Chains A and B, each alone.
Chain A
Amino acid sequence: MGITQILFWLLSVMALFSALMVVTNKNPVYSVLWLILAFFAISGHFLMLNAQFLFIVNIIVYAGAIMVLFLFVIMLINLNKEMEPRKNIWIKFAGAVAGGCLLLVLVAALRNSELKGQVAQVKEGNIGLIKNLGMELFSTYVVPFEISSILFISAMVGAVVIGKKE
């Protein structure tokens, strides 16, 4: 077992465990912190796939900026165990059914997919490097790229309009 394989297993276990902890934790602040850890594990996987740019952008944008905003909101409204609304048993039941349906769809969709030839190629490929990624984004995919940035701007303008006090 090479060092890449050891790292792969470590990162996978870390990602899955922290993702589980996000869902099962009672305290929302801890959930956010576990989610940050999950992002780090996923970033580590990007690094293993030789996609350094995605690795660092995932950390800067998701772990560094978006999760800070999550923490802001959760810390300010001070959610904790005592204030958690008590859920109706029927809502729990409905949640379980909905989750089961999702599982069913996923199993049905992935049933026929060929998994054998699709092992992730670790340490190979260079599309994730910043130069190649930039070239692709600004030549082949320039239209979707620009459209998505316009979408962001419209979301930002919308947030400013809503947030503005009249």
Chain B
Amino acid sequence: MYLLAVDWYYILEKFLLIGLVVTLSMVVAMYATYAERKVAAFLQDRIGPNRAGIFGLLQPLADGGKLFFKEEIIPLVSSKFLFILGPCLAMITALLTSAVIPWSTSLHLFGKDIPLQVADINIGILFIFGVVSMGVYGIMIGGWASNNKFSLLAAIRGASQMVSYELPMGLALIAVLMVVGDLRMSVIVNNQLEHGWHIIYQPLGFLIFFVCALAECNRTPFDLPEAENELNFGYHQEYSSMKLGLYLFAEYINMFISGVVMSTLYFGGYDIPFVNEATWGINQNLLAIIGFVVLMTKALVFVFVFIWIRWTIPRFRFDQLMKLGWRTLIPLALVNMVATAAVILWLKK
């Protein structure tokens, strides 16, 4: 079926894949809110939500329903279009990052291979970076459009935090890219299948990346944009009902996606540790599903660690946060980068 010189089956396949990935991110984010409450309860020796459904499993649906039916208030003097655009942007940028992630090896269906990756572009990891740098606008526009001084201050606080922590993140990433020699996500994963996970080569790089991921997702100990008790809530102070829900939900999606990205970059993606699954000789589709489950497990462990950190470590002060970013992480990342380059140069000679 060719029309306008485009293979429409290909487009259909990609649309299905995009739909699946988006649904997956949403569902995981939904249950991440539930997991957050359960883990918090566990760490504080409580029971947590247990009324809706068995073990409170329907709690996220109840929360979502509540948010939808709440009264929606748009401040009178704010700019209405930007006020609505803010949470939309936050959500869109959170979902866009999943486009370049290789979820597993390819499936074999209807006589052709279907790669479980929406787009294997040759700037893969930079694409994620570009989208993450767009995520700042959701916060800034929302904070400004609320026409509230506290929201604006919180938005600027949040944006400067995200911009500052993008730098060490990028520098840590450069070391990985030097090891791989390519920016494609599929090549990054394949390199780890052959030579072992990048966490072995880049332990410091991973640590820096992880700290920056916490800051980029606005998670504790860097959740200053939404410090409700001492800084009068955050950029979403004026938001109510589902618009607030979108902001909070985008945070959980970001958390999940950054877990997936870290697993892909440093923990071998869909690779099963210690075994060579290609020699098992089992069905390609089954192998793809196993790979997907392995990647999801790694990502969910990261989500759990994020939650665990939130309920363990108190929040930084803003000057401490900036000092950590600019005076500790950036020099560390630079040293890591130069050391990696030197070792690679020495090994190649």
List chain A positions with a Cβ less than 8 A from chain B: 2-3, 29, 33, 36, 52-53, 55-57, 59-60, 63-65, 68, 71-72, 75-76, 129-130
CB of B222, distance to nearest CB on chain A (Å): 18
Q: Do A75 and B140 touch (CB < 8 A)? A: yes
Residues of B within 8 A of A59 (CB): 130, 133-134
Residues of A within 8 A of B137 (CB): 36, 68, 71
Residue B127 lies at the interface, judged by CB distance under 8 Å to chain A = yes
Is the interface on chain B under 10, 10 to 19, 20 to 34, or 35 or more residues?
Answer: 20 to 34
Residues of A within 8 A of B123 (CB): 52-53, 55-56, 130
Q: Do A71 and B140 touch (CB < 8 A)? A: yes
Residues of A within 8 A of B130 (CB): 56, 59-60, 64
CB of A132, distance to nearest CB on chain B (Å): 12
In the complex, the number of residue pairs spanning A and B with C-beta atoms less than 8 Å apart equals 61
Residue B173 lies at the interface, judged by CB distance under 8 Å to chain A = no
Q: Do B121 and A52 touch (CB < 8 A)? A: yes
The A-contacting residues of B in range 111-153, CB under 8 angstroms, are 121-123, 126-127, 129-130, 133-134, 136-137, 140-141, 144, 152
Q: Do B159 and A3 touch (CB < 8 A)? A: no
A71 CA / B121 CA spacing, docked (Å): 30
Q: Do A56 and B126 touch (CB < 8 A)? A: yes
Q: Do B122 and A75 touch (CB < 8 A)? A: no
List chain B positions with a Cβ less than 8 A from chain A: 4-6, 82, 121-123, 126-127, 129-130, 133-134, 136-137, 140-141, 144, 152, 155-156, 159-160, 163, 166, 183
Residues of A within 8 A of B166 (CB): 65
CB of B73, distance to nearest CB on chain A (Å): 22
For B181, the closest partner residue in chain A by CB is A131
CB of B185, distance to nearest CB on chain A (Å): 14
Residues of B within 8 A of A3 (CB): 4-6
A56 CA / B128 CA spacing, docked (Å): 10
Q: Do A68 and B5 touch (CB < 8 A)? A: no
Q: Do B163 and A68 touch (CB < 8 A)? A: yes
A156 CA / B82 CA spacing, docked (Å): 33
Other than A52-B122, A68-B137, A72-B160, give 15 A-B pairs with Cβ distance below 8 A. A2-B4, A3-B6, A33-B82, A56-B129, A60-B130, A64-B130, A64-B136, A65-B133, A65-B163, A68-B159, A71-B137, A71-B140, A71-B159, A72-B159, A75-B155
CB of B4, distance to nearest CB on chain A (Å): 5
CB of B152, distance to nearest CB on chain A (Å): 6
For A78, the closest partner residue in chain B by CB is B152
Q: Are A60 and B140 CB-contacts (below 8 A) given A2-B4, A75-B152, A76-B156?
A: no
For B153, the closest partner residue in chain A by CB is A76
A57 CA / B166 CA spacing, docked (Å): 14
A75 CA / B152 CA spacing, docked (Å): 8
A68 CA / B132 CA spacing, docked (Å): 13
Q: Do B129 and A60 touch (CB < 8 A)? A: yes
A61 CA / B4 CA spacing, docked (Å): 34
Q: Do A2 and B5 touch (CB < 8 A)? A: yes
Q: Are A72 and B156 CB-contacts (below 8 A) given A2-B5, A3-B5, A130-B123?
A: yes
A65 CA / B60 CA spacing, docked (Å): 35
Of the A-B pairs whose beta carbons lie under 8 Å apart in the complex, a sample of 20, sorted by A's number, is A2-B5, A29-B82, A36-B137, A52-B123, A53-B123, A56-B127, A57-B126, A59-B133, A59-B134, A60-B130, A63-B133, A63-B134, A64-B130, A65-B166, A71-B137, A71-B144, A71-B159, A72-B159, A75-B155, A76-B156
A163 CA / B244 CA spacing, docked (Å): 37
A52 CA / B183 CA spacing, docked (Å): 12
Q: Do A130 and B159 touch (CB < 8 A)? A: no
CB within 8 A of A29: which of B6, B127, B136, B144? B144
For B143, the closest partner residue in chain A by CB is A75
A55 CA / B123 CA spacing, docked (Å): 10
CB of A1, distance to nearest CB on chain B (Å): 9
Residues of B within 8 A of A75 (CB): 140, 144, 152, 155-156
A33 CA / B136 CA spacing, docked (Å): 13
